[in-house]
């Protein structure tokens, strides 16, 4: 990686690689997530701060050099062949080893560690001693774990140890504990010491606990489903109480918590009565299946008249009578719910609209049309080189070894598309990319010429050169397939200019760049190439590269709401119901929102509500994005986001669960790499990874179950609502809720323009003192004018871009001292070698994102640059930082105002203030 020594972030996700070369010495983040054939990592640099190798199923072992790094995050989720970890670095804060099924033990934990995730480490026999800094421990499904280490001295706030089937006891808990999820521990018979004051969640469902002694006085949600308790102690505060399937429970306290909103004691077959005084704020009461229950309280709370209340008493065979019911009660169920076949049919129809007569006719006509087309194509041939290959991707230099691509995620492909690849700068860009082991796709008009110019270029391990024939000025020659797998574009296309007196075959007069020859445009016009052509490339690139601000998928308007329909447990006989509704004032600060609203019931073996959008036609291309970002107002429940990549109504989905915070607006970031293949809540161990290049639909669900029969640790029945103001694809996580490094967006579209593009018609400019292109702009068909129009098209596209404006281009060697500036005032020359090197480097330079700048050599125009030794590698990050580049600076003249080196908006604001 000689050309990438200054890399700080390297992301090579979902590649079919087996090994990596030595890593750059300044690397801070290494992400090889999903590289399932990678069997080893090289020595890690001491600067490394984050190592992400989730899904590397062949990886074993991790290098011992890990201990000497500055890593704060280590994720080896689903590294199924790893048998352990080396010594951990003292800086480690976040350790995730979920589903590392061969782990028998973990090394000593560093003092800085705050989070340890070991979900599903089925062979793990013990955990090391835990330190005071630890705040979150998640180890559910560790079937071989017989005991947990001491916790009382830690600062732990969250503990999940569900389905650790060999655990017999839980250690005493610290007062800092807020959430305990310990369901499915069938050997645990007693509660440990718990915090005395308050907890958010205490879940001990499906344990053998028979006495609830030592409970905190305040618990937001207490879940004791399926335990052996006979009585419930008095609680000072509890908003949600679940006692379902507690078959030994005989009575409840005479005084329930005053703030209790939900009481679920269904299938408590020994429960004979409820307290006479129910809390006045109770909104949901479920005592269905309580076969010994003889009566309900004589008087339900008067406050229930102001609430929508759900009272369920179905299958209470001993119940003799009902009390007087509130006048506003909306639902009363006293028997098994009938299946609402009408609502089921409505659900099916919403997501499976029958074809219209016109669609049927088109489908019938398309069959003979396709057959005829095939016959016609089979009987014809073409001898033209480029025309015969138009649109086909031809591999000229095949790949071998380890591919290195731009640090983006979402697809196994990681292609850099280069336009103008046979030009002076373009062919050098291709050469440098191949030397770095990149996969390059050269978009050219003449394939034979490209083969001659590029066919002998050296290729580093993993590098690959593909050719695709197209003319960017002709929109019909471009197709989305040409951009398949493209994650970056370097645009070097320019109109052909030559001396009026003619040029040599190799265009030596034009390329030399020093001596002036009276120029003329040859072939396509500047408008066709510099503006329309660039505009065509930008429009196709938007679908593959992703927008810097993210792609809006759901917005808070009525049109978005109409795309979403309910998909509830009615499809399996349940009675839950939900909808997605538009609310003009349900969003932040009284703004609009879409509200996922419903009533969840576990009757008839149901227990989920969800909303899903209609299938996207065509499929939604999100391969250029890191994941989905949701803006929601939480309610403390745990939801699922489900993505489908096929249009089947009941097919494989990709799921990612997420928690919400009660009463708070929050951004939920769901990386595509963390979605798991699922079919009807069962994980598919051999399922393929999510490919976000074609998304058919998105679904939001609240379900009683998590996956594979495990209960959702933050679920409730009754009324629920989740306001959502947006769902979008995001490029990089701007705020990192899980402790990952902030990853700024790097340019994904680098465009080579020209210095001088804003100078024609600039107020006060003397064209006689400017480079010839400025004076001859009109004579050359508005060359600079249309270059500027092309820049504007790119700047307004939303793509993360960088625009380079070189001065006069020469064939001199690289390495001359340079000047980088903004405002479009500098003059001079610069080597094409330096410009190509800059363009390749910009793909890794976040400081250049959204920036337009000029560059020149400080060597006088008339003085040749002829260094005695080859130039050393240039530190472009330092050069750009020293230039102090600003977003929004273009040097354009707007409304008669030359904006200079100020951002346009700032300059215009100053003009308005002066007036």
Strand partners, 820: 855
Pick from 102, 55, 53: nearest CA to 78: 55
* Residue 344 placed within a domain: no
Cβ atoms of 6 and 875 within 8 Å: the answer is yes
The vertex-77 CA angle with 73 and 79, nearest 5°, equals 120
* Residues 694 and 792 reside in one and the same domain: no
For every residue of 382-427, DSSP letters joined together read: ---HHHHTBT-EEEEE---S-----SB-SSS--EEEEESTTSTTHH
* Residues 725 and 775 reside in one and the same domain: no
Tokens of 138: 């998640």
- Three-state SS string over 73-103 comes to EEECCCCCCCCCCCCCCCCCCEEECCCCCCC
**3-class secondary structure, 545:** helix
Q: What is the pLDDT of residue 330?
A: 57
pLDDT digits (tens, 9 = 90+) for 235-287: 999 999 999 889 899 889 989 999 998 888 888 889 988 888 889 888 788 88
pLDDT digits (tens, 9 = 90+) for 506-562: 777 666 667 777 778 888 899 999 999 999 999 999 988 989 888 899 999 998 899
Burial 9-21 (b: 16+ CB within 10 A, else e): bbbbbbbebeebe
Q: What is the pLDDT of residue 387?
A: 44
Instruction: Give all strands (DSSP E) within 753-810, no chain letters.
Output: 801-806, 808-810
The vertex-657 CA angle with 654 and 660, nearest 5°, equals 150
Tokens of 9: 């972030």
Is the full-model pTM beyond 0.85? no
CATH code, domain with 653? 2.60.120.430
Q: What is the pLDDT of residue 912?
A: 77
Q: What is the pLDDT of residue 344?
A: 64
Residue 153: asked if its preceding bond is cis (omega within 30°), the reply is: no
Contacts of 829 (CB under 8 A, 6+ apart): 513, 514, 807, 808, 809, 810, 812, 856, 857, 859, 861
* Residue 474 placed within a domain: no
CATH code, domain with 809? 3.40.50.720
Of the three residues 53, 75, 92, the one that is the final residue of a domain is 92
Residues 273, 309: Cα–Cα separation, whole Å: 20
For every residue of 464-527, DSSP letters joined together read: EEEEEE--TTSGGG--GGGGTTEEEEEE-----EEETT---TT-HHHHH-SS---EEE-SS-HI
* Residue 451 placed within a domain: no
* Residues 759 and 641 reside in one and the same domain: no
Cβ atoms of 14 and 32 within 8 Å: the answer is no
Contacts of 672 (CB under 8 A, 6+ apart): 409, 410, 622, 625, 626, 627, 628, 690, 692
Of the three residues 50, 65, 92, the one that is the final residue of a domain is 92
Instruction: Give all strands (DSSP E) within 731-845, no chain letters.
Output: 749-752, 801-806, 808-810, 818-821, 829-831
Give counts: helices (H), strands (E), the chain.
14, 44
* Residue 169 placed within a domain: no
Residues 826, 806: Cα–Cα separation, whole Å: 10
* Residue 740 placed within a domain: no
Residues of the chain with pLDDT under 50: 1, 304-310, 367-388, 402-412, 734-742
Q: How many domains does the chain have?
A: 3
* Residues 577 and 722 reside in one and the same domain: yes
* Residues 720 and 752 reside in one and the same domain: no
* Residues 585 and 666 reside in one and the same domain: yes
Tokens of 72: 């704060």
State the CB neighbour count (10 A cutoff) for residue 236. 14
* Residue 223 placed within a domain: no
Q: What is the DSSP letter of 867?
A: -
* Residue 604 placed within a domain: yes
**3-class secondary structure, 618:** coil
* Residues 752 and 719 reside in one and the same domain: no
- Three-state SS string over 804-830 comes to EEECEEECCCCCCCEEEECCCCCCCEE
Cβ atoms of 397 and 437 within 8 Å: the answer is no
Tokens of 346: 């409505």
Cβ atoms of 856 and 826 within 8 Å: the answer is yes
Residue 840: what are its φ and ψ, rounded to 5°?
-65, -40
Q: Is residue 587 exposed (0-12), middle (13-18) or buried (19+ Cβ within 10 Å)? A: buried
pLDDT digits (tens, 9 = 90+) for 830-887: 999 999 999 999 999 999 999 999 999 999 988 998 888 888 889 999 999 999 999 9
Residues 523, 529: Cα–Cα separation, whole Å: 10
Domain that holds residue 25: 1-92
pLDDT digits (tens, 9 = 90+) for 24-62: 999 999 999 888 889 899 999 999 999 999 889 889 889
Q: What is the pLDDT of residue 861?
A: 85
Cβ atoms of 89 and 112 within 8 Å: the answer is no
* Residue 43 placed within a domain: yes
* Residues 797 and 877 reside in one and the same domain: yes
* Residues 704 and 814 reside in one and the same domain: no
* Residues 680 and 597 reside in one and the same domain: yes
Of the three residues 62, 92, 122, the one that is the final residue of a domain is 92
Pick from 140, 285, 145, 135: nearest CA to 203: 140
Pick from 99, 283, 223, 285: nearest CA to 713: 223
State the CB neighbour count (10 A cutoff) for residue 419. 25
* Residues 598 and 568 reside in one and the same domain: yes
* Residues 555 and 704 reside in one and the same domain: yes
Q: Is residue 735 exposed (0-12), middle (13-18) or buried (19+ Cβ within 10 Å)? A: exposed
Q: Is residue 700 exposed (0-12), middle (13-18) or buried (19+ Cβ within 10 Å)? A: buried
């Amino acid at each position: 990686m000689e050309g990438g020594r200054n890399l700080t972030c390297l992301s090579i996700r979902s590649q079919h690689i087996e090994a990596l070369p030595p890593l750059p010495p300044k690397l801070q983040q290494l992400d090889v997530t999903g590289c399932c054939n990678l069997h080893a990592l090289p020595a890690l640099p001491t600067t490394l701060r984050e190592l992400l190798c989730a899904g590397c199923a062949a990886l074993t072992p991790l290098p011992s050099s890990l201990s000497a790094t500055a890593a704060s995050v280590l994720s080896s989720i689903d590294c199924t062949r790893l048998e352990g970890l080396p010594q951990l670095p003292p800086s480690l804060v976040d350790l995730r080893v979920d589903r590392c099924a061969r782990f028998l033990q973990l090394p000593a934990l560093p003092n800085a560690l705050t989070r340890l995730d070991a979900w599903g480490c089925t062979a793990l026999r013990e955990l090391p001693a835990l330190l005071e800094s630890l705040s979150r421990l998640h180890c559910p499904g560790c079937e071989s774990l017989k005991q947990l280490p001491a916790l009382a001295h830690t600062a732990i706030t969250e503990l999940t140890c569900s389905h650790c089937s060999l655990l017999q006891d839980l250690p005493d808990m610290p007062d800092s504990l807020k959430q305990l999820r310990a369901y499915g521990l069938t050997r645990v018979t007693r509660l440990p010491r718990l915090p005395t004051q308050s907890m958010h969640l205490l879940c001990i469902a499906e344990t053998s606990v028979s006495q609830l002694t030592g409970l905190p006085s305040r618990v937001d949600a207490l879940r004791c489903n399926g335990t052996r308790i006979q009585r419930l102690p008095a609680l000072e505060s509890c908003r949600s109480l679940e006692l379902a399937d507690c078959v030994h429970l005989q009575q409840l306290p005479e005084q329930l918590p005053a703030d209790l909103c939900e009481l679920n004691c269904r299938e408590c077959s020994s429960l004979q009565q409820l307290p006479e005084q129910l809390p006045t704020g109770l909104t949901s009461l479920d005592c269905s299946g309580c076969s010994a229950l003889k009566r309900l309280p004589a008087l339900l709370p008067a406050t229930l008249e102001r609430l929508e209340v759900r009272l369920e008493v179905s299958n209470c065979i001993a119940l003799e009578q009902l009390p007087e019911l509130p006048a506003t009660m909306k639902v009363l169920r006293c028997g098994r719910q009938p299946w609402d076949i009408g609502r089921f049919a409505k659900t099916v129809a919403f997501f499976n609209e029958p074809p219209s007569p016109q669609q049927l006719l088109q489908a019938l006509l398309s069959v003979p049309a396709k057959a005829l087309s095939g016959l016609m194509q089979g009987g014809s041939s073409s001898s033209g080189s480029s025309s015969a290959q138009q649109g086909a991707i031809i591999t000229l230099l095949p790949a071998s070894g380890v591919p290195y691509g731009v640090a983006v995620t979402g697809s196994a492909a990681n292609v850099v598309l280069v336009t103008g690849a046979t030009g002076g700068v373009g062919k050098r860009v291709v050469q440098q990319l191949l030397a770095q082991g990149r996969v390059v796709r050269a978009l050219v008009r003449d394939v034979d010429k490209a083969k001659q110019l590029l066919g002998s270029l050296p290729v580093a391990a993993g590098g690959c050169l593909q050719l695709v024939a197209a003319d960017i000025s002709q929109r019909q020659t471009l197709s989305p397939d040409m951009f398949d797998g493209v994650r970056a574009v370097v645009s070097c296309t320019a109109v052909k200019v030559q001396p009026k007196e003619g040029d040599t075959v190799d265009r030596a007069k034009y390329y030399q760049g020093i001596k002036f020859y009276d120029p003329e445009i040859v072939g396509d016009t500047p408008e066709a190439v510099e503006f329309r052509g660039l505009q065509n490339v930008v429009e196709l690139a938007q679908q593959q590269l992703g927008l810097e601000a993210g792609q809006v998928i759901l917005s808070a308007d009525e049109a978005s709401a109409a795309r979403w329909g309910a998909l509830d447990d009615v499809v399996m006989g349940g009675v839950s119901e939900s909808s997605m509704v538009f609310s003009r004032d349900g969003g932040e600060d009284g703004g609009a929102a879409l509200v996922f609203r419903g009533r969840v019931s576990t009757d008839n073996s149901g227990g989920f509500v969800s909303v899903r959008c209609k299938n996207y036609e065509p499929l939604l291309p999100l391969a250029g994005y890191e994941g989905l970002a949701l803006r929601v107002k939480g309610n403390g429940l745990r939801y699922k986001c489900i993505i489908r990549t096929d249009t089947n109504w009941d097919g494989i989905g990709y799921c990612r669960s997420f928690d919400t915070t009660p009463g708070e607006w929050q951004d939920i970031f769901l990386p595509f790499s963390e979605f798991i293949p699922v079919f009807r809540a069962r994980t598919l161990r051999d399922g393929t990874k999510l490919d976000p290049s074609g998304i058919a639909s998105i679904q939001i669900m609240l379900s009683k179950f998590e996956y594979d029969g495990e209960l959702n640790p933050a679920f409730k029945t009754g009324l629920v609502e989740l306001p959502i103001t947006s769902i979008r694809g995001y490029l990089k996580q701007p705020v990192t809720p899980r402790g990952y490094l902030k990853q700024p967006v790097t340019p994904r579209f680098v465009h080579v323009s020209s210095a001088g593009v804003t100078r024609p018609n600039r107020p006060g400019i003397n064209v006689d003192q400017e480079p010839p292109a400025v004076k001859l702009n009109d004579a050359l068909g508005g060359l600079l004018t249309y270059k500027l129009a092309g820049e504007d098209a790119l700047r307004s596209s939303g793509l993360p871009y960088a625009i380079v404006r070189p001065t006069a281009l020469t064939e001199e060697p690289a390495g001359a001292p340079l000047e980088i500036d903004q405002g479009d005032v500098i003059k001079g020359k610069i080597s094409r070698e330096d410009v190509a090197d800059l363009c390749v480097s910009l793909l890794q330079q976040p400081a250049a994102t959204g920036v337009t700048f000029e560059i020149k050599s400080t060597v006088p125009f008339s003085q040749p640059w002829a260094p005695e030794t080859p130039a050393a590698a240039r530190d472009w990050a330092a050069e750009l930082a020293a230039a102090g580049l600003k977003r929004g600076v273009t040097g354009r003249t707007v409304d008669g105002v030359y904006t200079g080196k100020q951002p346009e908006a700032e300059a215009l604001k100053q003009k308005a203030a002066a007036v």
